[in-house]
Amino acid sequence: MTPPKPYYQDDLATIYRGDSFDILPYLSGIGAVVTDPPYSSGGAFRGDRMQSTSTKYVQTGTQAYRPEFAGDNRDQHSFLVWASLWLNAARNACVPGAVLASFIDWRQLPTLSDAIQAGGWTWRGIAVWSKGFGRPTPGRFSNAAEYVLWGSLGAMAERDAYPPGLFTAQPPRGEREHIAQKPDEVMGWVLGLVPPGAVVLDPFMGSGSTLVAAKSLGFRCVGIECDERYCETAARRVSQEMALSF
């Protein structure tokens, strides 16, 4: 097969439209994988998980068009297999010492930690995004955090940076490009793990928040997304972002 043609490209950012499993074999030289994959979560019971994404996740306010996102209906076993496979494929595109950071919710956290190790990465910890009080439920702990599982490909490069293991930021309200969109400052916090000069890869780009934050920090970055609408959104957002000059 011929190498894929970028959907979008500028001096720092590259976007490929397609399935990660098809694109990843053509990539190399990646120094950091930072992503927010589909969680396949959304309920304790199989019936709850199999609802459409727009039904099972709450959406309020006036909404831009947000297509369903694919690949969010796996059961736990399938999620483990699928996540192990993409983590392995991403690893093959990486240089030694590359770092990994993946968002996940509480329900799939244990499964993703298994997948990280099954995919050949060293799991090194959990970082916490504190979202404030979170959604209250009577008699239960509120759902106040999302989690970032992180690790590396062998020994990590020595660095003189000390990113905090917990970061507080309000979740986005109202208008969003994507139902699971993360605030830019949250992405910037996670990118604090990435050594200067590393190429950042997001194999589940969505609306492109990872690339926007990476570009603004001066990282070269690569995004993969199968939904053309999201590719369009991400290309627009990334093209409007100015990189820091050094």
Partner DNA sequence: GCCGAGAATGAATCCATCC
Partner DNA sequence: AGGATGGATTCATTCTCGG
Bridging pattern class, strands 30-35 and 200-202: parallel
d(CA 8, CA 15): 5
Does the footprint of DNA cover residue 43 (CB under 7 A)?
yes
> What part of residues 130-189 is at the interface with DNA (CB under 7 A)?
131-138, 143, 146, 155, 162, 170-174, 179-180
Kindly tell me which of 37 and 119 has the beta carbon lying closer to DNA.
37
d(CA 152, CA 91): 10
Instruction: Output the 3-class SS for the chain.
Output: CCCCCCCEECCCEEEEECCHHHHHHHCCCEEEEEECCCCCCCCCCHHHHCCCHHHHCCCCCCCCCCCCCCCCCCCHHHHHHHHHHHHHHHHHCEEEEEEEEEEECCCCHHHHHHHHHHCCCEEEEEEEEEEEEEECCCCCCCEEEEEEEEEECCCCCCCCCCCCCEEECCCCCCCCCCCCCCCHHHHHHHHHHCCCCCCEEECCCCCCHHHHHHHHCCCCEEEEECCHHHHHHHHHHHHHCCCCCC
Does the footprint of DNA cover residue 68 (CB under 7 A)?
no
- Minimum gap (Å) between residue 21 Cβ and DNA: 18
Stretch that binds DNA, among 21-29, 42-50, 87-95, 187-195 (CB under 7 A): 42-50
Stretch that binds DNA, among 22-30, 45-53, 87-95, 221-229 (CB under 7 A): 45-53
Interaction partner, residue 225 (DNA, its own copies, none; CB < 5-8 Å by kind)? none
Kindly tell me which of 56 and 120 has the beta carbon lying closer to DNA.
56
Kindly tell me which of 12 and 72 has the beta carbon lying closer to DNA.
72
Out of 3, 21, 26, 59, the only residue in the binding site for DNA (CB under 7 A) is 59
Bridging pattern class, strands 221-225 and 13-17: parallel
Interaction partner, residue 127 (its own copies, DNA, none; CB < 5-8 Å by kind)? its own copies
Out of 1, 2, 5, 60, the only residue in the binding site for DNA (CB under 7 A) is 60
- What track of x and - describes contact with DNA for positions 98 through 137 (by CB under 7 A)? -----x-x-x----------------xx-----xxxxxxx
Kindly tell me which of 67 and 165 has the beta carbon lying closer to its own copies.
165
Kindly tell me which of 61 and 245 has the beta carbon lying closer to DNA.
61
Residues binding DNA (CB under 7 A):
36-39, 41-44, 46-48, 50-51, 55-63, 72, 103, 105, 107, 124-125, 131-138, 143, 146, 155, 162, 170-174, 179-180
